Amino acid sequence: MIEKFIKNEQFNFIRKQVAWIKDSTKQHLPPGVLASVYELSNEKISNCVTALTPEQKELMDFSSFKTVEAYEQALEQLPNYLLAFPTISEQQLKKLFPKSKKLKLPDLSNIDLHRLTYLSWNDSRSNKKYILYKLDSQLVGIECSFSPSTKKNICSICHCHGEVTHFSTITKAKKVNNPDYYKSIGNLICVNSTECNKNITDVSYLEEFLRESLKK
Q: Which long-range contacts (CB under 8 A, 24 or more apart) does 184-187 make?
A: 185/209, 185/212, 185/213, 186/144, 186/145, 187/156
Residue closest to Zn ion (Cβ):
155
Which residues in this chain contact Zn ion in the complex, by CB under 5 A? Answer: 155, 157-158, 190, 196
Please state whether 155 falls in left (phi above 0), alpha (psi between -120 and 50) or beta: beta
- The helix or strand, by DSSP H or E, that contains position 197, with its residue range, turns out to be helix 193-199
Q: How far is the CB of 130 from Zn ion (least distance, A)?
A: 16
| Nearer residue to Zn ion within complex by CB, 60 or 200 | 200
| Nearer residue to Zn ion within complex by CB, 18 or 155 | 155
Q: How far is the CB of 197 from Zn ion (least distance, A)?
A: 8
| Nearer residue to Zn ion within complex by CB, 74 or 142 | 142
User: Residue 200 in contact with residue 12, Cβ under 8 Å?
Assistant: yes
Q: How far is the CB of 142 from Zn ion (least distance, A)?
A: 16
Q: How far is the CB of 143 from Zn ion (least distance, A)?
A: 19
